[in-house]
Amino acid sequence: MFNKSRRKIIFSIMGSLILLFVVTLSVIMFASYMEVRQKNSELLERYVELFRLDSDQKPDDQKPDGQRPGDAPEIPEHMMQQDPGAKKDNPPIEERSDYKLSTFYSVTISDDGTVREVDDGDRSVYEEEELVEIARQLIGQEKNSGTSGNLDYMISSRPGYTLVAFLDNTVAESSLDTLLGNILLVGGIALVVLFFISLFLARWIIRPLEENDRKQKQFISDASHELKTPVAVIGANSEMLSREIGTNDWLANIRYENERMGALITQLLELSRAESAAISMEQVDLSRVVTGEAMAFDSLAFERGKTINSDIEDGINVTGSMTQLQQLASILIDNALRHSTGTEIGLRLKKHGRSAVLTVENDADEIPPEKQKHLFDRFYRVDEARNSESGHYGLGLSIAKAVAERHKGSIAVSCRDGKVCFSVVLPL
């Protein structure tokens, strides 16, 4: 039980860490991507605003020699001297280093489809023919801005021609890829380290609980063994007294309660053995075991006006203890007979993949979900008003669960359509 608890703690911690890592990584990458996209959009938009063909310029605003189309216009000296601190603290975008270091390309295409001018940025990354082809493809689309490969683009309609401006974002994309790689590397190492830390913490948290559970089981086992002797003595003495004094109501009550106590002690010992006692594992024909237990309950079912409908597949073998598996089947069949509100008990044993599935189904009032999760607790009974005069103390399903888990299996209950079904899954 505590091994499962430890695994659940480790998985919950690791799951939380992985989820936190993925969310953090996603937020970082999304924020970085959006920031780069916004920055590139601003730079490209300003480039488009400043772009002029020679034919667009008036004689009085011709650019100085050597100034290329798209370069920032000169700022008059008298304007620069009016507020020296303004340019330093918040310069125009075209004066910023990121704008000056960015690589822009442009293609202008006349309304009649002829190429007027191609600016490849004095770089050989993209040939003029390649830029023209990309520009023509983009003009045919409805979008006026976006991304094409490693190029951010913006389309602007001008009198007589169309401008397609590009900003090369290869460096930005490479930086984002490097950032992602570093985050994955560092995050992966951190997750491995945190896994071992969580493993240590899980063991540290579970250790006191394991010790308490071990002591509790040991106490139940020791107390049950110690109580067996006085219960046996009381039973023997009451038998001797009944022979000497004959029928006596007080003596009959002592014998009855002593028998109840003996039955409880027996069940406590069975629970202790199912949970912690060493068992001899062997190949067990589960089909034969379940068939034998069903036959043993046939007469009891007949007395109660019920029938056991068996559907047992032959040749299902598991590794385990025959005694405990017999006990497991007996508990489930007996539980169905005692609590069934109908006349038929369904008993099935089938192979499912690499597992054997044993199901016992009976008609019964629906068990509320809040009570279903407590069915396998010790001394728990759905009907709290029911006493233990029948010799059952709410330990049967606890024993069944312990047996299933000792055989590396599981047990579960489900309620649907007025039926209660217990299912046991054991590895073949």
* Mean pLDDT across 197-223: 72
* Mean pLDDT across 303-321: 89
Evaluate if residue 5 carries a pLDDT over 80: no
Q: Which amino acid is at 96?
A: R
pLDDT at residue 250, rounded to an integer: 85
The answer to whether 375 and 367 have CB atoms below 8 angstroms apart is: yes
- pLDDT tens across 82-125, in order? 444 444 556 777 777 777 777 888 888 888 888 888 887 666 67
Please give the full DSSP string across 135-196, using - where no structure is assigned.
HHHHHTSS-SEEEETTEEEEEEEETTEEEEEEEE-HHHHHHHHHHHHHHHHHHHHHHHHHHH
* Mean pLDDT across 63-79: 46
Percent of the chain beyond pLDDT 90? 6
The answer to whether 271 and 395 have CB atoms below 8 angstroms apart is: yes
Q: Provide the mean pLDDT of the chain.
A: 78
pLDDT at residue 85, rounded to an integer: 46
Of residues 353, 381, 375, 370, the one with CA closest to residue 421? 375
* Mean pLDDT across 369-379: 77
* Mean pLDDT across 305-310: 90
* Mean pLDDT across 177-197: 80
Better pLDDT: 174 or 293: 293
pLDDT at residue 4, rounded to an integer: 60
Of residues 228, 229, 219, the one with CA closest to residue 265? 228
Ramachandran class of 248: left when φ > 0, alpha when ψ lies in -120 to 50, beta otherwise: beta
* Cα angle: 48, vertex 51, 53; to 5 degrees: 140
Which pLDDT band, with edges at 50, 70 and 90, does 285 fall under? very high
Of residues 206, 199, 210, the one with CA closest to residue 10? 199
- pLDDT tens across 211-243, in order? 776 677 667 666 766 777 787 888 888 888 888
What domains are defined for the chain? Answer: 103-168 (3.40.1840), 278-427 (3.30.565.10)
- pLDDT tens across 24-64, in order? 878 887 887 788 888 888 888 888 888 887 666 554 444 44
Which pLDDT band, with edges at 50, 70 and 90, does 398 fall under? confident
Q: List the single range of 38-42, 253-257, 379-383 with lowest mean pLDDT.
A: 379-383
